[in-house]
Structure 1
Amino acid sequence: MIFTLGNLGSKLISFFLIPLYTNALTTTEYGVVDLIATVGTVAAPVLTLNICESVMRFALDKDANKDKITQIGTNLLLIGMVVGLVIFPICHSFNRISQYSVFVYFYVISLAASQLYLCDLRGKELLVYYSIGNVLHTFFIAALNILFLVVFKGGIEGYLNAYIIANILTATYALIMGKGYRSFSFSGVDKKLLQRMIRYSIVLIPNSFMWWIMNSSDRVMVSSMVGIAANGIYAVSYKLPTLVSTLTTIFNQAWSYSAIREEGTEDENEYNNKIFRTLIGIVMLIGIGLITFMKPFLSIYVAKEYYVAWKYTPFLTVGCVYLTLATFMATSYTVHKDSFGYLFSGMFGAIFNIVMNLALIPLIGVYGAAIATCISYMLVFVFRLFHTRKYIRYNIKNKEFIVGSAILILSACLMFVDNLFGLTLQCALMLIAIYSFSDVWSPMLKKLLKLKGKQ
């Protein structure tokens, strides 16, 4: 519930900012800011050796010295600020973003800082403060974007300024609430702990890069092969499908704590599969529901020139459903500090994604990028299903997975029947899914009503 309050509130604000962006920025401008955000997503963990992941995971150990862990994270962030100066010459080598090199630098550094100190709050199990930090971060982004885009008409620079300031304010909040300011010292660093943390997190750098390839490299390729305006439309097509992973990420954040505590218990396998089956039913329903109402919603949600984005959402939604299930299974890697498991699965999907993008984008344009992303997500799911068997044997031979997959894919195909008949069939399929998975959502609904009745 704590994670829901923090994440859902922030994601809803972000969700309703899309109409602001699509009306305040042209497709070309939105393509540029999305490209910068894409670069920043991979640059931040590279500059800090992805240390925020170690800060969160190592702090959850029973005998953890949380202050020393935070100190190591802070020191690597400070070093990253110096190394990050290399961003300037790199940006100047790309015409599209060369004039925004200063903004890119501060965007990356501020993003790294906010991620680090929010992870510090999670590691210290200050979950209420962590959730409030997420809400504040999005509130700052919303308020500052309204100020810079609507009032000042700042365009690309206004958008980036809003994110930079929001990141800095969030990092400051988390730093104060987690008392991370006590860690600003290069003396007395625990070198053995430093080595263990870096050994864990450094493997996650190529993993982050591999996920960047699957999540974002297609946007770079679309920009260069099709055009920056096409990337702006494709970026919008990503927003709704990622709601699937957004909603279940809330659950996975809480689940990771439970999975770590349950490690080594007698019923660990049975317990994990019980939760996994419930998650399958929920995520399939969310995916089917999004696909069913995608087109009518987009017609009122975004500016007219962005509506064509619906054509790419079926592939991305299906992919995000399987990615969500793969993310749940990856908890086994976190529990056992198996960062190589993340790397191998990410590498597997990334290589396939690059090959498919290079082959399909020149032939069928943006459709190629969407199809490549969908298939690579599904392959990561299959890889982790087998690779995590050394920890947990996840079971997919159940009604939720088999029936859900069939309805999800069929509903995605029906999106291209662009008339009332197609929408009617989609609604019928959604009703079948709701009925089929009633043993998943019905007990949850009863528990919620029971809790409400007690209040």
Structure 2
Amino acid sequence: MERANSLLNNTFIYAIGNFGSKVLSYAMVPLFSFFVNKKDLGLYDLFLTSISLLFPVVTLQLSEAMYRWLLTSENLRDKRKVISTGIFSSLILLTIFGLCYLISTYFYSFRYQEYFYLLLIGASLFPIAQQIIRGLGKNKLYSFIGLLNSVLLVFFNLLFLYFLNYGLLGILLASILSYSLSVIACVFLGEIYTYIEFRSYTLKHLFELLKYSTPLIPNAISWWLINAANRFLILHLMGIEANGDFAISSRFPAILAIINSIFMLAWQDIAISKINDNEDVSFVSKLFNQFLILEICLTILLIPISKFLVSYVVESSYQDTWKYMPLLFLGTAFSSFSAFYGSIYLKEKRTINLFTTTIIGGIVNLGITYLLIPLIGLFAPGVGTLLGFATVFILRVVDLKSYLFLDIKWFKLISLTVISILLFLLALKDLFSIHILIFAIGLVLFVSLNNKLFKYFKSFLISKFKFLN
């Protein structure tokens, strides 16, 4: 019970901390469809996709290593060495990349290329600052900074899009400014500056951090192959307007993925520091089985909702994009199952195994997407994403079997997956009565199979309310 309460507490904290920087930035993309055309929306999506690839390469994933080392740093001196080494190294890396980027733009230029680099800097420094605050155990501040980022992002987007009508440039400026001000808040409110000193920078610490973080780079890239590389295949085979359509259809599943990642942050804290014996493994098995049931039931519930989300939230020229969303929702569920097991790799510092499982899934995704796009169009990336993440999940279950054997309820996993696929195919008939029927089925499954979880959640909220009073 104590571990469950700790997990739920941290999940709430991380939910607030990630709402602005992650959830809101993706949730607003459908709303952008009312202010920018398909080509600009497709270009913005490519910017985000490219940054998700460049971030781990440019920063060498030092933020992850800093977080991992700060969790186990026992004194102020060690924390200063970790933070100083990580921050100075990251700034040097961003400067080197900036010089290379400046040279490359002489040979290949594109619209808003200078803003792209500024966006990359903000998107790199903000998670580094957040991971430092998280590693120092300042979870409430982590939440506040995330909330601040939310407010800034909404304010600047309203200013540049609604009042000034800047279009795509306004979206880029809003993100850059919200990142910049949030980083400044992290540095001063989190007193990160007190841990930064030149004499604490050591090559020895850098090599220790890189030994941990370097295998995470190809892992992040291969994860990108599953999550984002489809955009470039769509661009090559179908054009930038099709990429704009896919950008819309993928944004709602992306929000679910980010919500899942918030839970994974809390689970990562538990996995790294508190999973040690057979009793703990029994707890993890129960947790994972409840999580997989919740995820797939939610996917089924979202199948008919997809149609209405697009109808009321997205500009009319994107109305058909809902059809591609259910496969992406299901792929997102398997992505979260893979990430659940991925935390065990981080605990054991087995980041090489983390990479190998992901790269195979990335290859599966790209291969299937490339082969199927000529046959089924934008349904292909959904199929590729689903099979890619399913491959990663199965490989990790097998690879970690000797270390962490979870009693997975395979029958429920397979049967619920099959049901969700059948209901998705039925939904493609696009009849109102069928959408209502699917929603009713999804609601019954969601409530009946998650009854215990709802009861626990209710008791948790009641205890918190009593505590506050």
- Superposition TM-score tier, normalisation by shorter sequence: over 0.9
> 2:276 is paired with a residue of what secondary structure?
coil
d(CA) in 1 for partners of 2:461, 2:42: 44
- What amino acid is aligned across from residue 274 of structure 2 in structure 1? E
The answer to whether the Cα contact below 8 Å between 1:314 and 1:415 also exists between their aligned partners in 2 is no
Distance apart, 1:320 and its partner CA: 0.5
* Range 125-134 or range 23-32, more displaced: 125-134
Distance apart, 1:137 and its partner CA: 1.8
Matched, 1:7 2:18: yes
Matched, 1:362 2:362: no
Alpha-carbon deviations, 1:87-127, whole Å to 9, x = none? 234456556xx132211111111211111111101111111
The answer to whether the Cα contact below 8 Å between 1:148 and 1:162 also exists between their aligned partners in 2 is yes
Alpha-carbon deviations, 1:239-282, whole Å to 9, x = none? 11123322222222111111222232342321211111121122
The answer to whether the Cα contact below 8 Å between 2:80 and 2:197 also exists between their aligned partners in 1 is no
The answer to whether the Cα contact below 8 Å between 2:256 and 2:332 also exists between their aligned partners in 1 is yes
User: 2:324: which partner in 1?
Assistant: 312
User: 1:41: which partner in 2?
Assistant: 52
> 2:112 is paired with a residue of what secondary structure?
helix
User: 1:87: which partner in 2?
Assistant: 101
* 1:45-444 correspondence to structure 2 within 5 Å: 45-61=56-72, 63=74, 65-85=78-98, 86-90=100-104, 98-397=110-409, 400-444=412-456
Q: 1:30 aligns with which of 36, 41, 44?
A: 41
d(CA) in 1 for partners of 2:423, 2:460: 29
> 1:389 is paired with a residue of what secondary structure?
coil
Alpha-carbon deviations, 1:103-159, whole Å to 9, x = none? 111111121111111110111111111111122222222211111122222122221
- What amino acid is aligned across from residue 326 of structure 2 in structure 1? P
d(CA) in 2 for partners of 1:138, 1:453: 25
d(CA) in 1 for partners of 2:104, 2:358: 25
Alpha-carbon deviations, 1:171-196, whole Å to 9, x = none? 11112233222354443423332211
- What amino acid is aligned across from residue 111 of structure 1 in structure 2? A
When normalised by structure 2's length, the TM-score is 0.90
* Range 187-196 or range 301-310, more displaced: 187-196
* Range 290-299 or range 260-269, more displaced: 260-269
The answer to whether the Cα contact below 8 Å between 1:400 and 1:437 also exists between their aligned partners in 2 is no
Distance apart, 1:411 and its partner CA: 2.3
> 1:270 is paired with a residue of what secondary structure?
helix
Gaps in structure 2 of 5+ consecutive residues: 1-11
- What amino acid is aligned across from residue 64 of structure 2 in structure 1? E
> 1:267 is paired with a residue of what secondary structure?
helix
d(CA) in 2 for partners of 1:156, 1:251: 32
Gaps in structure 1 of 5+ consecutive residues: none
Relative to structure 1, the CA distance from residue 332 to residue 91 in structure 2 (aligned partners, 3 Å threshold; closer, same or farther) is farther
- What amino acid is aligned across from residue 302 of structure 1 in structure 2? V
* Range 143-152 or range 356-365, more displaced: 356-365
The answer to whether the Cα contact below 8 Å between 2:250 and 2:325 also exists between their aligned partners in 1 is yes
The answer to whether the Cα contact below 8 Å between 1:13 and 1:139 also exists between their aligned partners in 2 is no
Distance apart, 1:164 and its partner CA: 1.1
When normalised by structure 1's length, the TM-score is 0.93
> 2:201 is paired with a residue of what secondary structure?
coil
Relative to structure 1, the CA distance from residue 284 to residue 100 in structure 2 (aligned partners, 3 Å threshold; closer, same or farther) is same
> 1:390 is paired with a residue of what secondary structure?
coil
Distance apart, 1:285 and its partner CA: 2.4
The answer to whether the Cα contact below 8 Å between 1:245 and 1:324 also exists between their aligned partners in 2 is yes
The answer to whether the Cα contact below 8 Å between 1:244 and 1:287 also exists between their aligned partners in 2 is no
Alpha-carbon deviations, 1:427-446, whole Å to 9, x = none? 23213413541444343244
How large is the Cα RMSD of the aligned pairs?
A: 2.2
- What amino acid is aligned across from residue 152 of structure 1 in structure 2? L
d(CA) in 1 for partners of 2:274, 2:354: 21
